[in-house]
Amino acid sequence: AQSVTQPDIHITVSEGASLELRCNYSYGATPYLFWYVQSPGQGLQLLLKYFSGDTLVQGIKGFEAEFKRSQSSFNLRKPSVHWSDAAEYFCAVGAKEYGNKLVFGAGTILRVKS
Amino acid sequence: EAQVTQNPRYLITVTGKKLTVTCSQNMNHEYMSWYRQDPGLGLRQIYYSMNVEVTDKGDVPEGYKVSRKEKRNFPLILESPSPNQTSLYFCASSLSPAGVFNEQFFGPGTRLTVL
């Protein structure tokens, strides 16, 4: 069965520091990979997605993510965090072999300290 | 404004009292889905629909029903709610019938408490 692991429940970084949020997945085939962000009291917003091609993908708000097939990972990065980036981040994975289902990780809460 | 709307936003009810949470999108999207969000578990898919009159189970469908009679609406029905259905519920839609492989647009959420 497909599964998505986000090892870090909480991460705290200083404003201006770099950020990396980890995501590992368990699939037998080529996955469709997403990162969503949820600001407090809001719905989810897509940051970026990977389907194929260049393994480094750029998203909105200065985020990027790198797909590493050998490590089954899709980590999210940002070179310089802003206080407005404080939110919960979800990695999600789908695969055609598993139908039209999207599996989310448990989420990582990002806190930004000034 | 393109959006997914859900009603109600907050609901407190009692065990066994049937309820419906409505979801509507104005983007002419083919795909719609319901998720529940619980602390430490992320979002789990309840049901999804690839088109009118086409629905299918997600990972946690027990205790829920859905219908898709019109493209824009996808209500979530709890025939006999139980306390373990206390959760935050999100409706989402996507342009393509293979919606899970495209960007999904999420509603603002419905916080349900079952006493």
Tell me the per-residue pLDDT of A34-55, one tens digit each, with 9 for 90 and over.
999 999 888 899 999 998 888 9
* B48: nearest CB among A92, A100, A103: A100
Question: Tell me, what's the pLDDT at A28?
Answer: 60
Residues of A near B (Cβ–Cβ under 8 Å) read 4, 6, 9, 32, 42-46, 49, 51, 90, 92, 94, 96, 99-107
Spans of chain B, pLDDT less than 70? 99
Binding-face residues of B in 74-93 toward A, CB within 8 A: 90, 92
Which pLDDT value is given to residue A43?
86
In A1-114, which ranges are E strands? 3-5, 10-14, 19-21, 24-26, 32-38, 44-50, 56-58, 64-68, 73-78, 87-94, 102-104, 108-113
Q: What was the pLDDT predicted at A56?
A: 96
Rg, C-alpha atoms of chain B = 13
Across the interface, which of A49, A101, A104 has its CB nearest the CB of B103? A49
Residue A24, pLDDT > 90, answer yes
Question: Quick one: pLDDT at residue B2?
Answer: 84
What is the C-alpha separation between A112 and A75, in angstroms, rounded?
19
Q: What pLDDT sits at residue A101?
A: 78
Check residue A2 and give its pLDDT: 77
Tell me the C-alpha distance between B19 and B48, whole Å. Answer: 19
Question: Band of the pLDDT at A98, cuts 50, 70, 90?
Answer: confident
